[in-house]
Structure 1
Amino acid sequence: MSGRDLIETQLAANATQEPVAGPWQAAVIGELVAIADEGSTPLVVFAGQPGTAALRARSVIDLHGAHIGRAVVLMFERADPARPIVMGVLRDARGWPRPEVPAPAQVEVDADGERLLVSARTQMVLRCGKASITLTRAGKVLIQGSYVLSRSTGVNRLKGGAVQIN
């Protein structure tokens, strides 16, 4: 049997299958109740969902904290209501900003090819795994990691009002 014959056989078989019953064929409106796993997994609820707990979903859009509590458009992988996919966030009729949710913080970035300046109002964190560098508005610089190395080909100076080692 040729590849073309196999494709035609499969298409004919699919044409005779009845669609899955239920509202899962159309878009469903749900609510984003949380974002788990360090911001990578949306949790959603919707009318008629299997069980009472929020369901883990996948998403085709970037979701962030300001979206929590908002209505989302859901579709379902293979028409399975236990496998929701967030297709989008519905806009509020009042537009932005919503009074109960503060606007996302603004971060200023200035790049001219010679220098990169990133500014934030209260705190900036650069994180990779268990390592982080935190800059605070009060002037603190916090460097954390399981292994920290400071190396210099010239002078490596520690200077402060007080210097504590261990």
Structure 2
Amino acid sequence: MAKVRERIEGVVIGQFLGFDDDGPLVVFPGNPQETALPARSLAELSSDMIGQEVALLFEDCDPQKPLIVGRIVEPAKKSSGAQVFRDGERVRIHAEERLELRCGKATILMEADGRITIRGTYVASHASATNRMRGGSISLN
């Protein structure tokens, strides 16, 4: 068991163990009792958070009066899926490596290196003004 301290200053990382009639229960290094202590909380807690780490401060530095100031959360991992942004006028879909749109036998494929592939059984291009094709080289058939 950790050494019991008379005063605890600063933040201590403890563990949220659940609820009793007095509120949330926590344990922490330097806990003055063998059992969990009732705590007050600044953060909203629910039963699905039981067992998670919490940041604790102590009222008047008293180890008998823990105060939960927040839950320790894992850093957000890089999103592996595409992100969709909407602002009311346009929709932007962002993907890191590849974006693929499919409908039946039709596919539009966009790659991170700049390649765009359009496949379909019938591909039509219509323009009311100039329909321009530009590129380093153009290959037809």
Scaled to the shorter chain, the TM-score interval is 0.3 to 0.5
Higher relative CO (CA 8 A, sep ≥ 6), structure 1 or 2? 2
Q: What is the TM-score of this pair, normalised by structure 2? A: 0.47
Task: Find the structure with the greater CA-based Rg.
Answer: 2
